[in-house]
Structure 1
Amino acid sequence: METRFLGRVNYAPTFQAMKDFAHQPAPDEREQLWICEHPPVFTLGLAGRPEHVLAPGDIPVVATDRGGQVTYHGPGQVVAYPLIDLQRRGIFVKEYVYRLEEAAIRTLRAFGVTGHRVAGAPGIYVRLADPFSHALLPQRPQRREPGQPAPAPDFTGLGKIAALGIKVSRHRSYHGLALNVAMDLQPFERINPCGYPGLRTVDLASLGVAVSWDEVAHELAGQLQRLLAV
């Protein structure tokens, strides 16, 4: 998988380019991992409800074909788009989501922060009171008996630091993962992040971790390369 560092690129043409790559890859093109950041933009997933965009102001809202609700992309956020053939790699969609989340968790760990999964809510979260604690969350995913409904997500004491939204078409993946490094977090207050009113969003800078975008981008790219290898 070839890694391409794109720098800061507008969202809409990048979305179209990765969709084109997934739907009509050239015979000589390898699978690719795109790492970038975007100017300010709100994106709506296929399940996105306009009422979750509370006050967009001058920030554009773009409808997309990924899963999930509404999120925000902006400078200071590392965005990773793996453009791969899941069937060729023998990875099912549920496992793919797990590996994307694991890449975010391992990237955070490299900078001393403990990331967590929350049952029923894709993405990675941190304890607001102690983002460096290794203690397990009571809200973590746990084994359920067959037929037992999934619990309602519980974000008590947590902030979201990484969001996921993917699309798989004819076994090929696009869209991906966004990890917050050092952002203007105010735009997240203009939406219900991922459709959850009151969900707090954080970045590494707000947790007291001083690290550059480039450092996090290269760490995340390396983790994705390792975790998606077969």
Structure 2
Amino acid sequence: MSPSCQDGQVTDAVVIGSGPNGLVAANLLVDAGWSVTVLESQSTIGGAVRSDTELSPDWKLDTFSAFYPLAAASKTIENLHLEDHGLAWVHAPAVLGNPMPDGSWALLQRDRHDTAAGLEALCPGDGEAWLELCALWDGFGQDLISCLLDPFPPVRHGAKLAVSLPRAGGLSGLRLLLMSVRRLGQENFGGEAPRQLLAGNAIHAHFSPEGAGSAVFGLLLT
């Protein structure tokens, strides 16, 4: 550990940027007994996690990022006990939505059965197909999330995923890891609404709809 000097004071670590990753890193170092200096060029902290009223004084707009499922699931963030310092997770009436060409909406609800009911109303059969896909996810989803949140390489949870994925869906479960989200939607749903929900979330994770592996990430964020 080589201390740095900032404004005449010695600090063990300098974190550049006060976005979520920088702030989490700084807090973990402080908890480990380090002295930390966080540098930020903007007038406010938070990085991409911020809101403003520039479009209208009557409502706040999420300037960059808008929803944080992996943050809410992260054991690292949970162990920071941010709720004790004022963090309150806010849930919209619907998690997210995609407008459809006919004026209807594909809505993702917090309750999968409510989501399924909305999809069923748009295209009969899609509600049941949605619940079947959710059941497949239940068999291996937590192991996949643990792999993504573990330090690399995720040996322990990777081994659990190697067992739970084929057990949950057989060959279709293994195939899901390599499938594109476009193919997932085409094979499982008759209407466009569930396809748009899955594809939108895959794109949010920086996958193209045709990209290998985009299916599982579209499902993960859904």
TM class, shorter-length = under 0.3
More helix by share: 2
TM-score, normalising length: structure 2: 0.23
Q: Report the structure number with the largest CA radius of gyration.
A: 2
TM-score, normalising length: structure 1: 0.23
More strand by share: 1
* Higher-RCO chain (CA-CA 8 Å, sequence separation at least 6): 1
